[in-house]
Structure formats: C-alpha cells, structure tokens
Amino acid sequence: MADIVKKTEEDKIKFAVFSIGTVEFALDIMRIKEIVKPLKITAIPKAPRFIEGVINLRGSIIPIVDLRKRFGLKIPETPLPTERIIIARLNGKIIGLIVDLVSDVISMGKGDICPPPEIVKGVSAQFIKGLGKIGSRLLLLMDLDRILTVSEKISLKASIKEKSRDKAVKEYEEENTDTSDFIRQAQDTEGE
C-alpha cells in the first residue's frame, strides 16, 4: 500500500498558483527559484514595453517582466499590496515575473492536465501550455519558455549589457547552438 501512495505522489507535479487580475495561472515549482516582494526596478532604455527593467537581488542583476503587460491585461493604477515577483529559471538564465498574487502550491497528476481548447488562439494562447483542473478551478499552465521570443531575448541581452545587437546575437548563438536557426529567422523577420 505504501508503494502505491509513493508512486502516486511521484506521478504528480507541484505548481505555484498565481493570479493576474481575475485569471489564475500555474507554474511548475521546479522552474521557480524564489518569490520576493517588489523591489526597486531600474528601467532599461529600448527594452520591450512589458520589460519593466532590472532589479539587483543580492548582487544579481535580474530582468523583470510584467506579466500583466505581456498578456495584455489591465494594470492596477497603484501597486497591489499582494504583488510579488516570481524569480524563475528561463533557458539557464534568471528572470523575474511580476504577478498580482501568489496564492498557493498545488499538486497535479497527468489526469488533471489537458491541452487548451482549440478556440483559444491568438497572442496570449502562445503562453499557455495547458489547463489544470483542480476541483471546480481551472488554472492556465504557463509556458515559461515562450514568455520571451528569441528576438526579445537578444534585445534584452543587448540592452542589459549595453552591447550591440550583432554582438548579443553572436553570444546568444554560442549559448544556444541548437537555436541558431531560430535566431536567423528572427533577424529575417525583423528586417521585413
């Protein structure tokens, strides 16, 4: 009996549940380094509009993405007292995600997760990898790897390190050798 319970627990994935407005999202806790209260953000010139800037977290410079802006959702006029920054791992780098509230940690098995309905299309759908069903709750499972496009990752790297775009592209290609085709496609798309 103990083996069955252990196997069942091993088959489940833990997710941190967070809210942006009235929408609940979930992110695999293995991608999360920590969750912090808002810190002073330093703006970055020429960064995409949803990149708030960078923070200095114990000596580490971390870019901050406002998920409300990224998803095209309403932004409160004044910061919410429950607002948090989720410090997460993205392709071997650390990034901060501004959310309205981090509410709890839940476990879900494969039977609790389903693909998003085909009717969910458009820009916001690219950030969703599935739906989590917990009782009567439906959670949008965030696809963290798609929060930034290859082009945005390169632009951000260039902005933070004050490098030319060409140098940032070269560094990105060296760090991500298997994605060099995507980089070339991103560059071709920008030139159009």
Domains and CATH numbers, the chain: 2-146 (2.40.50.180), 150-191 (no CATH)
Considering the entire predicted model, what is its pTM? 0.75
Q: What percent of the chain has a predicted confidence (pLDDT) above 70?
A: 70
Q: How does DSSP classify residue 115?
A: P
pLDDT score of 162 more than 60: no
Section 72-100 average pLDDT: 90
pLDDT for res 5: 40
- Structure token digits, residue 17: 């549940």
Q: Give the Å distances, CA to CA, from 144 to 19, 76, 107, 163.
A: 15, 23, 18, 25
pLDDT for res 170: 59
pLDDT for res 117: 75
pLDDT for res 190: 44
The answer for residues whose C-beta is within 8 angstroms of residue 16's C-beta and 6 or more apart is 26, 27, 29, 32, 35, 86, 102, 104, 105
pLDDT in tens, 19-36: 998 889 999 999 999 999
- Structure token digits, residue 111: 């039977």
Mean pLDDT, rounded, of the chain: 79
pLDDT in tens, 39-53: 999 998 878 888 999
